Structure 1
Amino acid sequence: MKRHHFVRINTGDEQPTLGNGHSAEFSLQVGRPFFAKFRSDGGTHAVAFGAAGGPNVLVVFPMSRSVPFPGLIMPVMAQAGLDESIMEKAAAQGKYIGLIMAEGTSSPWAGKDFVRTGVVAEIHKRIKLPDGNSNYVCRGVRRFHVDRWVRLKDGPIARVSYPEDIYPGGAVVEALQRNVLSLSQTVASHQPGLGEGFALAAANMEPAGALADFSAAYLLKDNKEKQQILDELEVERRLRLVDEGLTRETVTLELGDKIQTEIREKIEEQQKQFFLREQIKIIRRELGEEQEPSERDREFFLGKLENGNYPEEVSKKIRDEVDRLMMIPTMSPEYPVARNYLEWMVELPWEVSSEDHIDIENAKAVLDTDHFGLTDAKERILEFLGVRKMRPEHSGAILCFAGPPGVGKTSLAMAIADSMGRKLERMSLGGMRDEAEIKGHRRTYVGALPGRILQMIRRAGTNNPVIVLDEIDKIGNDFRGDPASALLEVLDPAQNHDFLDHFLDLRFDLSKVMFIATANVLQHVPAALRDRMEVIELPGYVTEEKIQIARRHLLPRQLKEHGISPSQLKLSARVVRDVINGWTREAGVRGLEKSLASLCRKRTLELARRKRPKAVIDRPKLEHYLGPVKYTDDRVRLRPVQGVVLGLAYTPYGGDVLEVECAGFPGKGGVVFTGSLGDVMTESCRIAHSYLRSSGERLGLNLAKLEKTSLHIHFPAGAIPKDGPSAGAAIACAMISRLTGRRLRARLAMTGEITLTGEILPVGGVREKVLAAKRLGVKTVLLPAENKRDVALLDKAWTKGLRFEYVSSFTDVYRLAFAKR
């Protein structure tokens, strides 16, 4: 609340005289300076008091909020206590008071707290305020300069001098005066509180120095800038400082006007649009064409409920949520949350199922068309479809296709959906770490959604789609969550008919959904989850199968993608075999497809350059198109030297043939091993060495030489970790070869775990190991006798060209491995 005090000062003995019997009327606004005007016969003029001099010693009043200026009437706020005592002391000693800016507002003061230039003023009147403080009406007389401080304690007293304004000659001062007057009127027009009297007073202000003081006092905001103007005695320089300050103020005010105009126009446009929309709503409401958003949503959800087929529990929940939605204001943040929940409730296919069209012969044709080989996997899929056809309500097992990358696991799942006529949805589980991805978030969280299982079902539009859970062996498991545990309920036929999603908080029947999982490494799938699925292992392809796949599927697809006709690029079976053996040794066919794509790109470039190459690419040109051969059959591997044996290994991406190297040197009969071996494989090295030391005589070894020879076992490719017991027989043969100097039979590889008594125990991964041996040109394979049944299950195409020797003891291994050719 601003308070105004109006005081009339008349001529008289007890009041200050303003001039020849004139009176002055001024308005005092507490907390800010003001200007005065007086009336005489000539009209209204600005107050411009002058003084020829003043007292040499002044009582000084420190001011902290404003800068005093001469020639102006100003209120001075004095706090009860010391401030009032200073003013009263000055009034008692002649009514002159020195007003000066000070940093400190309370005693004790130091000389450095004060500026050096102030204004001597006459005290005209004291106005007692309701809060106990006082306002003293003072008239600035002239500038003074502090020469020295006489006293600072209990009210500052200073010895002062009175400098005169310096007026230079020329028209510069007059031009600056006009500029200041124009800028003052412009700035004052933006401050309604100054009124019209300010402009009139400024126009009548003389001389130029007084105009500068007048404008600075009322129109400038910065006290430091005001004090700089007060310190300046050269009028031209003073006018320039005021001109600069007013120019900055003018620019600021113009920018403020521009911003205000833009805001006003924007608000007016928004208000206009708001009023027009409201008018349209009212018109539509009068015509019966408009509804409130909440009412429209209510009709939408209830209409969905009436026209759809929902379980009784879901219908009741939808009606309750609609009633709750009607009680929530549409502008409330809770409204879209409740509406989103209702959308999920009515959009989910609770009772909507697609009809299966299972034709076993057609399914077999689809599988054979899209996939070559994989006989066992296709047979199991056809059995599964046969059960579904005879008993549609049969939930059946959850299938899991396990095998190396590129063997067709995901495409098999897609073929199943195609043969059944069901919608297909796919979810990659690789790297998933939050079980909320499966079971959803609770609605208390901002942006909560159901889990991805229900999201896929909603997207499919039926409650019985085929959902492919890709890369199930790569689910994350750390402190952030365990999605594999959340999948236990999803993939258990005994539980998934009552699947509970955290977002819906209602049971959803997943028993009609056909889940198919894929995995590369079955051992990485948690045991509880693996137990709920029927695993169908997909082995790697043999070379003959890859040739057929390349010619039937891969090459035609790449030709189409690269815009080449079959007559522009032809590959014989022999060339495809060379590509497989020389550039793409793998269990699947992804690398083979990349190599074929590279051939197509090269041929496309040749055709784009208007060249006319021969359509047939023969063997000599393969290196020109694909670069140097990446894989070659090493003679050391197929025709081992002394101390080298070929062992068969299982890897997650198919089988492989590894060299086992043994070096001997004089020592204490110990054994060391290198090649990034795991604990089980290092134990196999020790077991093989101990067996030879205990049973060497029966094998014809020189035990004395064995005791004085240290052996070093090494597996090449040392950066690749290796582990497992199946290399025991190969390690023992490598040691014998080094100690006796005899070489093993050419193109022979072996696998089998050895014990301290020389028994050869069965191993796993026989299928992958056999495929690796066939791929790399091995002719004879030594296998444990108990693995004979595994070989019987292999396709004849995989074992064609291989000779299998079954052994039950290391004596059999020794006899077959070191037999004379």
Structure 2
Amino acid sequence: MVDKTITMPVIALRGMTVLPKMMLHFDISREKSIAAVEKAMVGDQKVCLVTQRNPEETDPGIEDLYQVGTVALIKQLVKLPNNVVRVMVEGLERTELLTLESEEPLLVGEIEELQVPLDILDPVTIQAMAEIVKEKLEAYGKENQRIAKEVVPGLLVIPDLGELLDQVAVQLSWDYRLRQQVLESVLLEERYALVMKHLITEIEVTKVKKELQSHVKERIDKNQKDYILREQMKVIREELGEDNPLSDSDEYAKRLKALKADKEIKEKIQKEIDRFKSMPGGSQEANVVRMYLDTVLDFPWKKMSKDNNSIIHAQQVLDEEHYGLEKVKERILEYLAVRILTKKGTSPILCLVGPPGTGKTSIARSVAKALNKEYVRISLGGIRDEAEIRGHRKTYVGAMPGRIAEAVKQAGVNNPLMLLDEIDKVSSDYKGDTSSALLEVLDSEQNVKFRDHYIELPIDLSNVLFLATANTITTIPGPLLDRMEVIEINSYTENEKFHIAKNYLVKKQQERNGLTGKPVAITDQAIEKIIHNYTREAGVRNLERRISSVFRKTAREFLEDKSRVIEVTECQLEKYLGKEKVSYNNVNEEDQVGIVRGLAWTSVGGDTLQIEVNVMPGKGTLQTTGQMGDVMKESAQTALSYVRSIGPEYNVPDDYFEKHDIHLHIPEGAVPKDGPSAGITMATAMLSAAINRKVGATVAMTGEITLRGRVLPIGGLKEKILAARMAHVKKVLVPDKNRPDIAELSEEITEGLTIVFVKEMPEVLKEAFVQE
């Protein structure tokens, strides 16, 4: 026993801690450690063992060592090759390392014994603690048979609590850091709490491990049992001579034999079937392969439907189901004619562009009916993930083919009509560019071998007739737009809407509301009034809603009095649809100064804009109001510059525009207005106000102006001309370069209008100003 502060050799241990009453073998190779052992062997064979905080430290100082160590007695010393010494020691008592000095060639430390204050706890408490520890050891032994046989019996016979706690840490092979905590716990209360905490933790961990192992064993046993039972059933059927039903792999092989596909595709599918055969029936990978095989074996690789190649039939179907739309019908019939003559399946990609409600989607359905093709529709609005087009890799959980491959599979043939709806509304994010994925689909040179990430086999899309729809081409990426042939569907005239309503919508809504064959009708004048005063749109979607609303109310009236004949006239519309909801800006009743009527394109058709200009004394500023966009404000500034440049020709004083402010206003300011098509209108209004010349009330105009007074062409001419007719305009001034657009308009649209083509502003002013 150490009874005072003494100096003795010190050995720094790496990755181990020695406790009192602990026997331990370890090897040493550092020169200082070997020298310390030799020094101890010359004396009383005692050495101080202290654990390093960092096992990687090669030359530790006192700050690199734990402060509490153990005095040990060297029991055996064996020298091994390569300057290695094996030492067997027995721990004696806890000590505190006070100082450490390096006396070549060994470490020498000043140490002091740590006395255990046993008198703090009474004997009853100590005995209770010992019994609790032993109970936990027995519980641990129940969970671990090796511990129960080899460790627990020796621990249960130890009477001293301190020795028992130390031996628990020793015999249970705890980590050296945990043993160091036990070594530093001088008070029995602290040591007891620490040992019990880790002992209970080990018991719980052992229980969880046993439960997990039990679950795994049960699962393995069940799989083995199922396999044995299947084999037994197979043998029994063979002995009885009963037909053995086909296994999944045999069924797949049978389906593959009947599949119409290229040789390379069949070989790839056969490899997957061979893989499937070697997999356990209930494994996750087998389910993945099963889903894949179901997909590729159901895919119509070489299965085609027979098209109806009668041009007469196609024209009849298109004429029956759609009024007007001559360009679209002509293009479809041209495609069919070329297909009949060439016997080739290469299809163009047609993109129908037009406002909502103009019948783009229904046209695609009618084309499929006319050609006797299977019809599938893919809505592209809002798609962000490229995998929606190309499919997911098979390795992902929940993987599935892309929408293109899935649509072909759904059609059941490889030559359906596929409608790519709302192609202008695809978007992109971090998962990929959806529009770029569509490039391969829509390119006739690439889609012969389209690759879907899930199917992983080349899919021939050249036989698919693609139709796309869009509201505008401005949001379609250039490369994607380049692969499509754009066919514009413009706004319907009121006459076209009337024929569509009378020939299609009325019959459709009568059937939907259960009024077919019933004494319920709606007059032509009522339809015309609904079109003119209750709807304002480019297409006919709202018109159909209004007609449906009328028939819903008449259905109720019919059920209330079945003997009554119901005919909805224009005078009764207020009863069914309420007050008129649409009004139009008619031309002014008299010619005025500084007021000119312009023409504008909107998403629901055309409209007229009354541009007003006032001139007042000021400092030469231009003020614009009416919620005008930046482009329109620039047009106003350009118009003012032109008017100032021609002022002398109209006897305008040189300083007139420096002493007067000009205020340009477009009423209905809540409607945003932006676009280069009102330049000549604003210039005419400014000059009219400046020289006090009246502008014709029945004149309307559209066109952009340059600084030198040239009139530039504009778009949306059909809608603008329609708006002029509705406003009862007599004369319309149109840029000369828009002659081809006017030539394409039907007489129904231009009837009653005098259209004047203008190249320069002087021509505009001549036609617009009232001759004095």
Q: Would the TM-score normalized by the shorter structure come out above 0.5?
A: yes
| Other-structure match for 1:15 | none
Match of 2:109 among 157, 166, 169: 157
Query: Could you tell which deviates more after superposition, 184-193 or 242-251?
Result: 184-193
The change in CA–CA distance for 1:740 and 1:564 in structure 2 (over 3 A counts) is farther
Of 168-177 and 421-430, the range deviating more from structure 2: 421-430
Which of the numbers 356, 364, 373 marks the counterpart of 1:413? Answer: 364
Equivalent positions of 1:196-275 (< 5 A) are 196=149, 198-219=151-172, 221-235=174-188, 238-275=191-228
For the pair shown, which has the larger CA radius of gyration, 1 or 2?
1
Which whole-Å CA distance do the structure 1 matches of 2:154 and 2:339 have between them? 105
- Provide the C-alpha distance between the structure 1 equivalents of 2:426 and 2:543, rounded to a whole number of angstroms: 28
Q: Which digits, 9 at most, give the CA deviation of each residue in 1:160-182, with x for residues without a partner?
A: 34635514434222222122223
Q: Is the 8 A contact 1:637 1:659 kept in 2?
A: no
Match of 1:173 in 2: 126
Conserved? CA contact 2:6–2:112, under 8 Å: yes
2: CA distance between counterparts of 1:761 and 1:228?
91
- Counterpart for residue 93 of structure 1: 43
Structure 2 partner of 1:3:
none
Query: 1:129-177 deviations in whole A, cap 9, x for unaligned?
Result: 466433333333344455x447454222324346355144342222221
| Structure 1 residues 109 and 531: alpha-carbon distance in aligned structure 2, compared to 1, 3 A threshold | closer
**Counterpart Cα distance in 1 of 2:666 and 2:617:** 21
What is the distance in 2 between the residues matched to 1:393 and 1:454?
Answer: 25
Corresponding residue for residue 685 of structure 1: 639
Whether the 8 Å contact between 1:655 and 1:768 is mirrored in structure 2 is yes
* Distance of aligned partners of 1:82 and 1:639 in 2 relative to their CA distance in 1, 3 Å threshold: farther
How is 1:546-561 mapped onto 2 (pairs within 5 angstroms)?
546=497, 549=500
Partner residue of 2:300? 348
Q: In 2, are the aligned partners of 1:663 and 1:712 still within 8 Å (CA)?
A: yes
Q: Is the 8 A contact 2:308 2:370 kept in 1?
A: no
What secondary structure, in the 3-state scheme, does the structure 2 residue paired with 1:256 have? Answer: helix
Deviations 1:43-97 (A, max 9, x none): xxxxxxxx69699544333334333333343335433532122122112212233
**1:460-512 deviation per Cα after TM superposition (whole angstroms, max 9, x unaligned):** 3345433445456678899967578757753xxxx79x9454579879584x6
For residue 538 of structure 2, the aligned residue among 568, 581, 587 is 587
Shift of 1:375: 6.3
Gaps of 5+ in 2: 280-284, 558-565
Amino acid at match of 2:118: I
Aligned equivalents of 1:99 and 1:330: distance in 2? 63
| Aligned residue number for residue 607 of structure 2 | 656
Q: 1:99 to 1:291 in 2, by over 3 A?
A: same
Please give the TM-score of this superposition, normalised by the length of structure 1. Answer: 0.69
Q: Is the Cα contact below 8 Å between 2:526 and 2:573 reproduced in 1?
A: no
Q: Which amino acid aligns with 2:354?
A: G
Cα distance between partner residues in 2 of 1:692 and 1:463: 67
1:380 paired with 2:330, answer yes
Matching of residues 786-801 of structure 1 within 5 Å: 794-795=745-746, 797-799=748-750
Secondary structure of the residue aligned to 1:156 is: strand
Query: Which residue does 2:718 correspond to in 1?
Result: 767
Write the distance in 2 (CA, Å) between the matches of 1:85 and 1:533.
Answer: 89
Q: 1:85 is paired with a residue of what secondary structure?
A: helix
Deviation string 1:699-719 (CA, Å, 9 cap, x unpaired) is: xx7889689767566666695
Question: In 2, distance between residues paired with 1:782 and 1:363?
Answer: 38
**Contact 2:381–2:422 (8 Å) recurs in 1:** yes
Alignment-mate amino acid for residue 127 of structure 2: E
Q: CA deviation at 1:722?
A: 0.8
Contact residue 253 and residue 273 of structure 2 kept, 8 A: yes
Match for residue 29 of structure 1?
none
Cα gap change, 1:240/1:715 in structure 2, threshold over 3 Å: closer, same or farther?
closer
| Inter-CA distance 544–241: structure 2 relative to 1 (3 Å threshold) | same
Match of 1:183 in 2: 136
Residue 133 of structure 2 is aligned to residue 133 of structure 1: no
**Counterpart residue number, 1:423:** 374
Query: What residue number does 2:563 align with?
Result: none
SS across alignment from 1:735: helix
SS of 1:171's equivalent in the other structure is helix
Distance 1:756 1:69, change over 3 A: closer
Q: Distance in 1 between matches of 2:74 and 2:541?
A: 100
Task: Return the match for 2:32 from 82, 92, 99.
Answer: 82
Q: Supply the AA of the counterpart residue of 2:300.
A: L
Deviation for aligned residue 1:109: 4.9
Contact 1:457 1:465 in 2 (8 A): yes
Indicate if the aligned counterparts of 2:425 and 2:475 stay in contact, CA closer than 8 A: yes
Q: For 1:566-617, what per-residue CA distance to the aligned partner results, in whole angstroms no more than 9, with x for missing partners?
A: 99999887776666556642211234456677899999999xxxxxxx9989
Q: 1:556 to 1:54 in 2, by over 3 A?
A: farther
Secondary structure of the residue that 2:107 maps to in structure 1?
coil
Mapped contact 1:647–1:750 kept (Cα < 8 A) = yes
Give, in angstroms, the shift of residue 235 of structure 1.
Answer: 4.4
Aligned-partner Cα distance in 1 for 2:374–2:603: 31
Return the alpha-carbon distance in structure 2 between the equivalents of residues 758 and 53 of structure 1.
Answer: 116
- Residues 68 and 453 of structure 1: is their aligned pair in 2 closer, same or farther, counting only changes over 3 Å? closer
| TM-score normalised per structure 2 | 0.73
Please give the per-residue CA displacement for 1:548-567, whole angstroms capped at 9, x wherever unaligned.
65576557767887999999
> Residue 302 of structure 1 is aligned with which of 248, 251, 257?
257
Residues 379-528 of structure 1 aligned to structure 2 (within 5 Å): 380=330, 393=343, 401-427=352-378, 456-470=407-421, 489-490=443-444, 499-501=448-450, 510=462, 514-521=465-472
SS for the counterpart of 2:44 is coil
Q: 1:345 to 1:757 in 2, by over 3 A?
A: same
Matches within 5 A, 1:308-323: 308=260, 314-315=262-263, 317-318=264-265, 321=268
Q: Which amino acid aligns with 1:245?
A: H
Partner AA of 1:163 in structure 2: Q
Given residue 411 of structure 1, which amino acid in structure 2 is its aligned partner?
S
Say if 1:666 and 1:501 are closer, same or farther in 2 by CA, change over 3 A: same
Question: Do 2:587 and 2:727's aligned partners in 1 also have CA atoms closer than 8 Å?
Answer: no
Identity %: 27
> What is the deviation of 1:646?
0.8
Residue 86 of structure 2: SS of its match in structure 1? strand
Q: Residue 779 of structure 1 contacts residue 803 of structure 1 at CA under 8 Å; is this kept in 2?
A: yes
Please tell me the residue identity of whatever aligns with 2:45.
K
Question: Helix, strand or coil: the match of 1:137?
Answer: strand
Say if 1:663 and 1:738, in contact at 8 Å, map to a contact too.
yes
The whole-number CA distance in structure 1 between the counterparts of 2:475 and 2:136 is 83
The answer to whether the Cα contact below 8 Å between 2:640 and 2:686 also exists between their aligned partners in 1 is: no
Distance 2:125 2:610 in 1: 102
Distance 1:521 1:652, change over 3 A: farther
Gaps of 5+ in 1: 1-50, 607-613
CA pair 329-129 structure 1, distance change in 2 beyond 3 A: farther
Q: Do 1:119 and 1:144's aligned partners in 2 also have CA atoms closer than 8 Å?
A: yes
Question: CA-atom RMSD, angstroms?
Answer: 5.9
Q: Secondary structure at the match of 2:606?
A: strand
Distance 1:228 1:786, change over 3 A: closer
Between the aligned partners of 2:69 and 2:710, the Cα distance in structure 1 is 113
Tell me the distance in 2 between the aligned counterparts of 1:212 and 1:747.
Answer: 110
- 8 Å Cα contact 1:102-1:114 kept in structure 2: yes
